[in-house]
Structure 1
């Protein structure tokens, strides 16, 4: 039996997760823009900025980037607190995995705030900044994946309500994607995240600038460029295999083609960034934006579920208030 209150609460939580994905992508991109614009220490104190919530006299582009980055992180944290409260209140009508995941996400965002404080108080150490990025990408992947798992029952309900009369003897159910799909999606996600962290380590140590300007610390740039090709082959291979497999996998072609487009765009932006000698911050920030979108999309594809038909009657929702007594 499908509870009538289950679909609305899951729909709202799925909508919240989708908004959180957008906020987390913005958080990663603004963090990257803060580094590119050398604004990581624009606010010398933490958690306030120049001793106030909204600095007025000191406000400029760099201060605004750092201040807005913290504001976005605060909004994400508050949203996760609300999500945890809702998950606990509706715990009996939500999947068993959702409450522990909500608690884990809140713990991760608190740790993320702690790492953010260390980046300021310890004057932007490269290792801490890279860990800050790693935790942000982890949050992004978890929230994006959970949004797909929350949306599955909504799609199931819509499918059942629209079932044609010749299918009334069959029910529909959602199953995990094929094993090969999950393995390839997980491998692609791991490869993209690793490449992001390698690029983050290169950026936070200013290795690319030193290599292009003075020929120093070029190993980081070499590793990042060398890893780009196998990562792209891994993701594009996943897309090609899914399209050739047919069936449910091929029906995901809009997302798969979007994934291929993001990879192509990322390669172009990476080449353009080096050709311009890192002189155009907008290109560098766009490179980071596409990277975060790749992580979010791959996590969503990893957790995507397929619709299957199984023998058995459709589940019926019974409302006691509309039942009438029957007399013999």
Structure 2
């Protein structure tokens, strides 16, 4: 799609800004989770019955009366509410994207609609994260929902970008193989992201202190029940409800998944390197993968430093976005080659 007029450019800028804002929301979500602020406000969408964190003595007294089991911790409450405010702002921008998309026939309709539906589901997951007191399956789904919004916004931006590069010189057979490889790679990266979310949601990030897998007896501790999405009902899932062996099982599978993902991403990077027009994506995949591995190792060696853990989350998202970009470019090139072949 070519941006031929001022309104189309404004639409493109709105999508681009929303994409940047969505990255901030994901980073803040990771920061909120890692600072144990997910229940900083025990209600939703307000905080202790107020629109903002209770500040005056009267407000704090009222909060204590209505929520005696969850004493107010102002810093955690502000972390949580800041995340909610910015996520709500993103929702308003996505609504604006839909309004602008449907006002112009030439603009994409499907991705804006999917974005709006995803934002609504994401808001419900945000509510359930609080009301179901950090139930792991909800926390993981909330993480995946945030990643989905980022990727959908990026795909929409790619659709709107001026001038797609022709890939007819690559050949339809290599493009077909690249397309299949890219789809498989996206699925593998998404699966690894989900495993990371499950690890975080069950507080299993620090149970293994040795590299490359885990402590020597992890095989004896392995328990497949750790991957049941529905847990027995608990008053709260904060700090985790699984036993040590189950958490080790989750962590080990996440590490093995990281090894598989490394092989798949490197293979995809090599396939991109073989095509000069795709080499920049090859560099991007290798750099992001290297950074993600370094951050993961640092998390283990330094016992999950806050800044490193947030960066690990965001870099994982960056790797997914890069893989989605490769898949989109290759898919567009394949369709373009098919059309060129017909004519």
The residue number in structure 1 matching 2:140 is 130
How far has the Cα of 1:39 moved from its partner? Answer: 0.4
8 Å Cα contact 1:145/1:302 also seen in 2:
no
Q: 1:71 aligns with which of 66, 85, 96?
A: 85
- Bigger strand share: 1
The residue number in structure 1 matching 2:64 is none
Are residue 143 (structure 1) and residue 173 (structure 2) matched?
no
TM-score, reference length from structure 2: 0.74
Distance 2:263 2:6 in 1: 40
TM-score, reference length from structure 1: 0.77
CA gap of 1:15–1:179, structure 2 versus 1, over 3 A, is: farther
Q: 1:294 aligns with which of 319, 334, 342?
A: 319
Q: Provide, for residues 234-291 of structure 1, a one-character-per-residue CA deviation record: whole Å limited to 9, x for no partner.
A: 1121111111233x223xx1x431221110010011111111222x111111110101
The residue number in structure 1 matching 2:278 is 249
8 Å Cα contact 2:182/2:268 also seen in 1:
yes
Distance 2:187 2:78 in 1: 33
Q: 1:259 aligns with which of 248, 260, 285?
A: 285
Q: 1:34 aligns with which of 22, 32, 35?
A: 32
The residue number in structure 1 matching 2:187 is 190
8 Å Cα contact 1:207/1:216 also seen in 2:
no
8 Å Cα contact 2:36/2:76 also seen in 1:
yes
Gaps of 5+ in 1: 160-171, 311-328
Q: Provide, for residues 300-323 of structure 1, a one-character-per-residue CA deviation record: whole Å limited to 9, x for no partner.
A: 222235599x8xxxxxxxxxxxxx
Gaps of 5+ in 2: 56-71, 210-214, 216-242
Are residue 61 (structure 1) and residue 75 (structure 2) matched?
yes
How far has the Cα of 1:216 moved from its partner? Answer: 3.2
Q: 2:310 aligns with which of 285, 292, 296?
A: 285
Aligned residues: 284
Tell me the secondary structure at the aligned position of residue 208 of structure 1.
coil
The residue number in structure 2 matching 1:21 is 19
Distance 1:276 1:244 in 2: 38
Higher relative contact order (CA 8 A, sep 6+): 1
Tell me the secondary structure at the aligned position of residue 39 of structure 2.
coil
Root-mean-square deviation over aligned CA pairs: 3.0
How far has the Cα of 1:210 moved from its partner? Answer: 4.7
Q: Provide, for residues 23-63 of structure 1, a one-character-per-residue CA deviation record: whole Å limited to 9, x for no partner.
A: 22222221111111100010121111233333252684322
